[in-house]
Structure 1
Amino acid sequence: MVVAVAASSHTLATPSSPLSTTICCSNSINKNLALTRRRALVFSSTVILSPLLNFYHPNSTSAIALPEDELQQEEDRLVHLFQETSPSVVSIQDLELANNRKSTSNEVLPIDDENAKVEGKGSGFIWDKFGHIVTNYHVVAKLAKDKSGSQRCKVLLVDAKGNSFFKEGKIVGYDPDYDLAVLKVDAEGYELKPIVLGTSHDLRVGQSCFAIGNPYGFEDTLTTGVVSGLGREIPSPNGRAIRGAIQTDAAINAGNSGGPLINSYGHAIGVNTATFTRKGTGVSSGVNFAIPIDTVVKNVPYLIVYGTPYSDRY
């Protein structure tokens, strides 16, 4: 059952060395011929051994790059990828206010209210500098359906300078058919870093991908994998099929929902949304899914402007 939840190449450079040595000597100096040849042989041997000595000498500046160097470069690349992308990812908490704190949706969220009950957690990402946040519908479904004024949404963001802050997220629009929703936070005085959008129509099975989110409430978690399959079909919260989903083995668990699936350039290629779990265990099987970013780009602008998906307006 599907449960909604949250190559690098290298070149070896060897020092250049002559393959042969030309020795010129005068015919009139026969007595020194043997000595000259002996010196030539010694010289030639030294030239041949020189690159080998450079190869094995650990302190040689011209030594061939060892595998550890390539590994370090790959690790540095992943660290940089995370550092550049994570400020665009947010943590979302679904809150229910205590009975005596129910209020209108226009009231400022008491984010420090100890009586507020955390109903669920998820992830999202910054869509634009105006404070729009994209996430899964199932992450904020209670807020979308709330008519009592008891539901609130608490969003943890990081600005472009690395400063963390909390804001209330107001729901702007949602589309259960594609399990998408848009929140809006008051970002005045903060410089937000919107995520860089990629494309999903040109994805290939086997290419690297990465998920950033807040699984089980552990903020800013990076998991790695590959695109395992394309064109999958998964159920939406209202039971309809979401077609064209991306399958990946990058770990997606409860709390990852709504966070971005990114490529090796840090561009969003999907919205993490679901995973297959082993029946009765709740443990991910490693078969995970994301809504393709092309679908997101098509639908989110309508949610921001109209509050409803394009299909509901006609």
Structure 2
Amino acid sequence: MALLQPLLRLLLLRPPPPPPQRTPHLPPPSASTRRVAAASAAALLLLAAASPPPRPARAEPGGGEDDVDETHVVRLFEGASPSVVFIKDLLVVAQPRGRDGRGAQPVYDEEGGATVEGTGSGFVWDSSGHIVTNYHVVAKLAGDGSESHRCKVFLEDSSGTSYSKEGRLIGYDTAHDLAVLKVDVDGDKLRPALIGTSRGLRVGQSCFAIGNPLGYEHTLTTGVVSGLGREIPSPDGRVIRGAIQTDAAINAGNSGGPLIDSYGHVIGVNTATFTRKGSGISSGVNFAIPIDTVVQSVPNLIVYGTTVSNRF
């Protein structure tokens, strides 16, 4: 009994455990309280919808998919543009002979050439100095000789240096609106264009036109292949079949320039555009001669001068 007394004293000195807490019973919310809560939630949703979305972080230069595509187009132009040339059709006008029998000197413009009658584009075919363009760009060179026409070709060599050379017409194909010029330039200064194929083209794939529209040299326009197998008129009244339709802008001065694909390969020769009546502005319906047709015609023009149909 003496041993149990200390234990009893400890038990008596320990405070009793606290009573369990009871959750107060709240009455259910009234109808007016529920309406106020619903109105508050609706207001918060409206504020969230009206607030502008967070702005995306700005991509660093050279990063992001858009920047990659843009860089690709820039490199595409830089690689292909040295192969594109600017062609001027020049007319040398000689004054009548004087009483002393001497012939008058030609009338020159400020560039040291003759009067500019027309402009166009072309591209370097090979390192021998052959230039491919449209026949209608240089048609006056193939005239009857009553007027003294000559052609000036503005080129850019591999180092980026620009210069001009006189171009000689060595062959033309009126049925396909094609012509070949020859310039006397060292082969190592020329950068021939990369020739692709028009076989297997699909509507919707990207394409790019490089030329000299309205006299503005080395202009790039972009678009897609809008249609295939189109028919367009040729200078001799025939029909050029299989033409490529594109919405890449083609205007006066683009004729003869290359239409290239996303790899920088020439897939066509820019030739024609439909314009809005009376405006002279392209309607976005433009055409190029397929490069497979060009590949069949140009070697014959280089060797024989004209196509068989034009020789007889």
Partner amino acid, structure 2, of 1:79: V
User: How far apart in 2 are the matches of 1:207 and 1:115?
Assistant: 41
User: How far apart in 2 are the matches of 1:240 and 1:190?
Assistant: 39
For structure 2, list consecutive stretches of 5 or more residues without a partner in the other structure.
1-54, 98-107
2:202 match: secondary structure: coil
User: How far apart in 2 are the matches of 1:146 and 1:93?
Assistant: 19
- Name 1:77's counterpart in structure 2: 72
- The answer on 1:147 being equivalent to 2:145 is yes
- Name 1:93's counterpart in structure 2: 88
User: How far apart in 2 are the matches of 1:144 and 1:236?
Assistant: 16
Q: Find 2:261's aligned residue among 260, 263, 284.
A: 263
User: How far apart in 1 are the matches of 2:88 and 2:223?
Assistant: 26
User: How far apart in 2 are the matches of 1:212 and 1:120?
Assistant: 18
Partner amino acid, structure 1, of 2:76: L
- Name 1:117's counterpart in structure 2: 115
Query: Closer, same or farther in 2 for the Cα pair 1:238/1:76, shift >3 Å?
Result: same
- Name 1:183's counterpart in structure 2: 181
Query: Closer, same or farther in 2 for the Cα pair 1:57/1:262, shift >3 Å?
Result: closer
Shift of 1:113: 6.1
What percent of counterpart residues are identical? 66
- The answer on 1:194 being equivalent to 2:192 is yes
User: How far apart in 2 are the matches of 1:312 and 1:254?
Assistant: 26
- Name 2:251's counterpart in structure 1: 253
User: How far apart in 2 are the matches of 1:312 and 1:143?
Assistant: 15
Higher relative contact order (CA 8 A, sep 6+): 1
- Name 1:231's counterpart in structure 2: 229
User: How far apart in 1 are the matches of 2:171 and 2:187?
Assistant: 24
Query: Closer, same or farther in 2 for the Cα pair 1:57/1:160, shift >3 Å?
Result: closer
User: How far apart in 2 are the matches of 1:214 and 1:118?
Assistant: 15
Runs of 4+ in 1 over 2 A off after TM superposition: 56-59, 64-68, 110-115, 310-314
- Name 1:52's counterpart in structure 2: none
Shift of 1:161: 1.3
Contact 2:137 2:255 in 1 (8 A): yes
Query: Closer, same or farther in 2 for the Cα pair 1:57/1:168, shift >3 Å?
Result: closer
- The answer on 1:301 being equivalent to 2:299 is yes
User: How far apart in 1 are the matches of 2:292 and 2:74?
Assistant: 27
1:86 match: secondary structure: helix
Contact 1:111 1:154 in 2 (8 A): no
Contact 1:98 1:115 in 2 (8 A): no
Shift of 1:112: 6.6
Shift of 1:215: 0.2
Partner amino acid, structure 2, of 1:88: S
For structure 1, list consecutive stretches of 5 or more residues without a partner in the other structure.
1-55, 103-109
* Aligned length in residues: 248
Tell me which structure has the larger Cα radius of gyration. Answer: 2
User: How far apart in 1 are the matches of 2:253 and 2:57?
Assistant: 46
User: How far apart in 1 are the matches of 2:230 and 2:215?
Assistant: 28
Shift of 1:178: 0.3
- Name 1:158's counterpart in structure 2: 156
1:296 match: secondary structure: helix
Shift of 1:162: 1.1
- Name 2:133's counterpart in structure 1: 135
User: How far apart in 1 are the matches of 2:200 and 2:279?
Assistant: 35
- The answer on 1:283 being equivalent to 2:278 is no
Shift of 1:202: 0.9
2:208 match: secondary structure: strand
If the length of structure 1 is used for normalisation, what is the TM-score?
A: 0.74
1:82 match: secondary structure: helix
RMSD after superposition: 2.7
Query: Closer, same or farther in 2 for the Cα pair 1:174/1:111, shift >3 Å?
Result: farther
Contact 2:269 2:288 in 1 (8 A): yes
Partner amino acid, structure 2, of 1:170: R
- Name 2:241's counterpart in structure 1: 243
1:270-312: CA deviations, max 9, x gaps?
0000001111221110000000000000000000000111444
Shift of 1:71: 1.1
